[in-house]
Every structure is written in structure tokens, then in C-alpha cells.
Amino acid sequence: MQLNGVEYNEYHDPGLHAQAREPIGIYTAKAFLWMFLGLLTTFAVAFFGYATGTILYVFAIPYFHIVLLVVELGVVMFLSARLHKLRVGTARALFFVYAAINGVVFSAYFLIFSMLSLILVFAMTAVYFGAMALYGYRTKTDLSRIRPILVGGLIFLIVCGLLSLFLPLGAVDRVVCLIGVAIFLAFTAYDTQKIRTLYNAYQYDQTMLERASIYSALELYLDFINLFLYLLRFLGKNKK
């Protein structure tokens, strides 16, 4: 059986109930810790690339940005599709590989935007993300009902992103950014609540619990990164 795209065994041995794992609060906190470590890896790599000037040499390689994009997509797709079969250590390693590759891409933003702008937008992202994560964790409303809307919004953002490569969107781009912010704020609440769903499915299987924690950390990481990027596009100040 599958749950939110992750396969799991529906059968639980009643005798295992005595071995119930850590409380949901601690489990959720660990998922957010992995997400935070992923973000830390991304921004450490990004700042290192900028501070040392390495990024100038990296992006001087023809089509290297396209290679990075393909590798990023490949890692995420492989991790999502094979998570229930991967060893926990391998899944964690792939998560950090993705975060590090993303850091190489993010190095370019230090060249484009002012440091003050990056810091302020990051702080704003952290506040908004934290508020929606808290809502997703506390609310009794079933947020799975908004999944079709979120998927539709994500498809819209992808289409707009592809169009922007060929057509100047102008003022429309600011509207797209606001929609992107709204979509990933909602995704943050949705993915936070989904941690509880995965916990309930796997709470008597420690290995699957750990795998699901990495899966949740990846989703939250992507929510934060995308929220940051749309806010940066909307509010960020370019270097003069």
C-alpha cells in the first residue's frame, strides 16, 4: 500500500505495540533537525563558493548549470522513488549530496543580490516558514484536502518558470512570485502535518520511521528553499 507516494506495510503485529517508538513531538523535531542540517549544508557550500571565488570558475564551464539541474532532479527523483528500499545511511547521504549541489547553485545569488538583502529575506522566510509549520503541526483540520490545489499550483509555477526562459514576463513575474509564496507556505503546513501521517503508519517500524523522517526533511527543505527563492525574487535588491 502507498501513503502520499511512499510504500508501507499496512500490517502491524499487535505484540509490537509494547515497543512503540519515540513520541510524535520528538520525531517531528528530528525531521526538522535534518531539514535544518540540510539548509546549513546548502548555505555553507554557497558561501564558501562565493567567498573563495570558486563559483566564478565553476560557472565558467559551458552548460555546467544545466548539468547541476539534471543531477539535482535525478537525486530527488531517485530518493523519492527508492526511499522505502534504501538503507537509512544511503538516504541521508543522498539528502546531503542534494543539499550540497544546491549550495553550488546558490553561490550565484551572492553575486546577484546584496548581502543585506539575502539576510533579510532569509530571516523573513524563517519567520513565515516557522509560523506555517507550527500551524500544520497544531491544526486539527485535514490539510490533505488541499493537495490537488497545491499540485495544480506547483504545475502552474513550473509552466511559468519554463515560459520565463523564453519570454519576458515583466510585471507578471511579481504576481507569479506572490503565488509561489502562497503555494509554498501552504505546502509547509501540509508537509508538516504529513509527518504525523507517516509517523502513524510506521511507528512500530524503526527503520521505516527513519526513512520517512528523511523523506519529510527533504520535503520541508524544498518548501523552505522555494519559499526563500520566491521571496528573494519579489523583495531582493540586486547589487549595484
Calculate the dihedral angle through the C-alpha atoms of 108, 113, 114, 119, rounding to the nearest 10 degrees.
Answer: -80
Helix, strand and coil content of the chain, in percent to the nearest 5, comes to 80, 0, 20
pLDDT, averaged across the chain: 83
User: Which of the four pLDDT bands, split at 50, 70 and 90, describes residue 226?
Assistant: very high
User: How high is the pLDDT of residue 41?
Assistant: 95
Residues of the chain above pLDDT 90, percent? 41
Maximal C-alpha separation, the chain: 66
CA-based nearest residue to 41, from 113, 126, 99: 99
Burial class (CB in 10 A: 0-12, 13-18, 19+), 218: buried
**Crossing angle between the packed helical segments 206-235 and 115-138, to the nearest 10 degrees:** 130
- From CA 238, how far away is CA 218, in angstroms rounded? 29
CA-based nearest residue to 39, from 223, 209, 236: 223
The distance from CA 40 to its chain's CA centroid, rounded to whole angstroms, is 13
Q: Is the pLDDT of residue 1 over 80?
A: no
Q: Is the pLDDT of residue 104 over 60?
A: yes
- From CA 58, how far away is CA 72, in angstroms rounded? 16
Contact 209, 203 (CB under 8 A): yes
User: Which of the four pLDDT bands, split at 50, 70 and 90, describes residue 68?
Assistant: confident
Q: What is the pLDDT of residues 16-45, one digit of tens each?
A: 443 446 788 899 999 999 999 999 999 999
Q: Is the pLDDT of residue 4 over 70?
A: no
User: Which of the four pLDDT bands, split at 50, 70 and 90, describes residue 61?
Assistant: confident
Q: What is the mean pLDDT of residues 163-174?
A: 76
User: How high is the pLDDT of residue 147?
Assistant: 92
Separation in Å, CA 24 to CA 142, 172, 201: 17, 42, 12
User: How high is the pLDDT of residue 240?
Assistant: 60
